[in-house]
Structure 1
Amino acid sequence: MITYEWLYIFAGTFFVIMALLSALDASNGKRWGNAAFWAVLAGSFLFGTHLSDFANGVIVLALVAIAGVGGLGRSDPPTTSLEERFNFSQLLGNKLFLPALIVPITAVAGTLLYNYTPFGETGLFEERRETLLLFGIGVLLALAYAMVWLKPPVLAPMQEGRRLLDSIGWAAILPQMLAALGAVFALAGVGEVIGSLAGTVIPDGSVLIAVIVFALGMALFTMIMGNAFAAFPVMAAAIGIPLLVEDYGGNPAVIGAVGMLAGFCGTLMTPMAANFNIVPAALLELKDQNGVIRQQIGTAIPLWVCNVAIIYVGAFVLWS
């Protein structure tokens, strides 16, 4: 059976290679910092399941320490030149996107086949992990296809991956950190505290105001934490479950799904969502680091208003 652990090994192996290539890159003045950072992250993926919570906490602190002291630096490995990339784009056009399409097609088509055909009876994949495992398989298939098709040097994918990762730096692992932070907040009872505070603001029986506070909390906490998945357990424990679902009898599917969308509106407006907003600005070398955010605000606010309306109508007006 292919289990979740296989994905951890796959990712850990990738980061081991990143660490080795970084250590061998004498042109990067911070190669040892880069090597240490990716090596520690590799250790987290390869051995984290088998380590204690304390040991995993030490790994996180080590990553923060390396990044915090400015130990990471951008590398410039020998990959294709701008001229070569331009020639590729001229020659192949939109066909260059074919490897990228293999990944989602493998994940979606594979999941459907596994769940709705006799193939699922083989027990090949760990239960309820099929899509993520097929996503990883799709990455390997896309890589193999690109290597056979374009015939680049063997180390080209690794070197290009290192260039991109070094351009992103510590922000590459920010989603993991923030998602973990949301779980910590939930376990610490932050949701209950916010729920008690919200109870003093929301008038008894006012469904619309409760929906607005819930959606606003999702957006604001996402802006603070940088990740709607981190905000959701807090706001669900504070308002979503106890008030909207249990007290007012709302549709939990609509509240949960559209509540996440309200959080994603906050994602569009915060630099804390570095993987969405800051990383693209860095990769595109924009002069304004917050340029992506400025362009998204005009979409985020009206979209948030629409989400409030959808929750109110879909979870309460139509549900009742």
Structure 2
Amino acid sequence: MLSIDQFYLLLAAFLAYAGWRNLRQHRYAHAAFWGLIALLFAGGGHVLRASKAGDPLPAQFAGAAVIALALLATRMRREPQDEAPEAERLASALRLGHRLFLPALLIPALTILVVVVGPHVSLGGTPLFASTGLTLTGLALACTVSALAAMVVTRQRALQAADEGRRLLDTLGWAALLPLVLATLGGVFAASGVGEAVASLVSMVIPADSRMACLLAFALGMVVFTVIMGNAFAAFPVMMAGIGLPLLVQRHGADPAILGAIGMLTGYCGTLLTPMAANFNIVPAVLLGLDDQYGVIRAQAATGLWLMGTNVLLMAWLCFR
């Protein structure tokens, strides 16, 4: 049975390889950083099982590792990484043409296929995919298949794929972890009661009997929290617990699936507006050598605002039908 645990081990192996390569180049902070993350991914299942069994020690070790990662991040420096000469890359792109897009297009297609068909596929009466985390398992499988497809299309060795992945990882540096860390932060906020506090504040400020007022508060809250925390994954549990479920779904009868889908997209409008989403908005500016480090945000701000308004209209039209 395929589950996300197998892909976590595969990811841990790749991160360990990235750490080993950095160690050989005497980039000790980078090596320790990726090596620690590899250990966390490889041992995550053990930590979870130990925590459920009442043993806090593995979780404490994991917490110490996270603190060590924060300290190591201050020692990491972005440095130019060796890559193929520009002329060689251009010649390869011209030779491969539009086939280069095939591996990237496989990722969403295979993910959707696993989510839709996966629950109905079994071997000898045993389900092929674990029922929990099916979307994440589908995404991980799609990325693995896409990497294999890229090797077939480009006729490169598996080690070349690992080297290029490691080069991109080192180019991004600690910012590569921001989506994961910020999503975790959203869970922490929700568990600590921030959602309930938001709900009480909203009830004091806006008329809770007006579904349009609640919808606007939900949409603006998704954008504002995303701007503050840098990722819609962090904002979603807070706003859904504070406004989405109690006011829009339970009180006004909004469709939770439509509200969740478009609400998450509304949050990503905030991602287009904030430097807190460093891996999306600041790192690309550095990689492209832009004079204005906020140039990416300035270019996409209008799109984010127009999309936010469009999403509000879509939720008002579709959620309450």
Fold conserved between structures, TM > 0.5 = yes
What is residue 41 of structure 1 aligned with on the other side? 37
Q: Is the 8 A contact 1:72 1:166 kept in 2?
A: no
Q: Which moved more, 1:210-219 or 1:153-162?
A: 153-162
User: Hey, what's the Cα distance between the residues in 2 that align with 1:154 and 1:215?
Assistant: 44
* Cα distance in 1 for residues equivalent to 2:277 and 2:122: 41
Q: Is the Cα contact below 8 Å between 1:244 and 1:250 reproduced in 2?
A: yes
1:14 and 2:19 are equivalent in the alignment: no
Deviations 1:243-262 (A, max 9, x none): 12222233323322222122
Q: Using the alignment, how far apart are the partners of 1:280 and 1:73 within structure 2?
A: 13
The answer on 1:289 being equivalent to 2:293 is: yes
Identify if the C-alpha distance between structure 1 residues 156 and 268 changes in structure 2 by more than 3 Å, giving closer, same or farther: same
Contact 1:114 1:120 in 2 (8 A): no
Matched, 1:86 2:81: no
Aligned partner (choices 31, 48, 60) of residue 66 of structure 2:
60
Output the amino acid matched with 1:200: M
User: Does residue 102 in structure 1 map to residue 106 in structure 2?
Assistant: yes
Deviations 1:201-233 (A, max 9, x none): 112422222211111111000111111121111
Instruction: Count the aligned residue pairs.
Output: 311
Kept after mapping to 1: 8 A contact 2:208/2:247: no
More moved, 143-152 vs 269-278: 143-152
Amino acid at match of 1:74: E
- Mapped to 2, the partners of 1:304 and 1:146 lie a distance apart of 35
1:100-128 C-alpha deviation (Å, 9 max, x unpaired): 33333333334444345666954122114
Of 52, 73, 81, the match for 1:76: 81
Deviations 1:114-164 (A, max 9, x none): 345666954122114444334333333333343344343553222222221
Q: How far off is 1:76 after superposition?
A: 1.9
| Contact 1:168–1:282 (8 Å) recurs in 2 | no
The one-letter code of the counterpart of 1:4 is I
Where in structure 2 are there 5+ consecutive unaligned residues?
48-57
User: Aligned letter for 1:189?
Assistant: G
**Residues 1:148 and 1:259: Cα distance change in structure 2 (over 3 Å):** closer
Aligned residue identity for 2:35: A
Aligned to 1:220: 224
Call closer, same or farther: CA 1:103–1:304 in 2, change over 3 Å: closer
Paired residue type of 1:274: A
Amino acid aligned to 1:70 = R
Task: Identify the match of residue 186 of structure 1 among 183, 186, 190.
Answer: 190
Once the two structures are superposed, what CA deviation does each residue of 1:28-73 show, in whole Å capped at 9, x if it has no partner? xxx1011011001111101122123322222211111111x33344
- Distance between the aligned counterparts of 2:106 and 2:249, measured in 1? 40
1:196–1:112 Cα change, 3 Å: closer
**Which of 255, 261, 265 is matched with 2:259 structurally?**
255
TM-score by length of 2: 0.88
- Which sits farther off after the overlay, 277-286 or 170-179? 277-286
Name the CA shift for 1:255/1:90 in 2 (closer, same or farther; >3 Å): closer
Name whichever of 252-261 and 146-155 sits farther off.
146-155
Residue 268 of structure 1 pairs with residue 272 of structure 2: yes
Q: With the length of structure 1 as denominator, give the TM-score of the two structures.
A: 0.89
Match of 1:147? 151
- The aligned amino acid for 2:227 is M
Q: C-alpha separation between the residues in 2 aligned to 1:219 and 1:125?
A: 35
Identity of aligned residues (%): 43
Q: How far off its partner does 1:18 sit?
A: 0.1
Contact 2:15 2:37 in 1 (8 A): yes
Q: Cα–Cα, structure 1 residues 312 and 101, in superposed 2: closer, same or farther, change >3 Å?
A: closer
Q: Are 2:81 and 2:171, in contact at CA under 8 Å, matched by a contact in 1?
A: no
Please give the alpha-carbon distance, in whole angstroms, between the structure 2 residues aligned to 1:132 and 1:200.
Answer: 38
Q: CA RMSD in A?
A: 2.2
Which of 133, 136, 139 pairs up with 2:137? Answer: 133
2-side partners of 1:112 and 1:241: how far apart?
A: 26
8 Å CA contact 2:96, 2:154 repeated in 1: no
Flag structure 1 segments of 5+ consecutive residues without an equivalent.
Answer: none
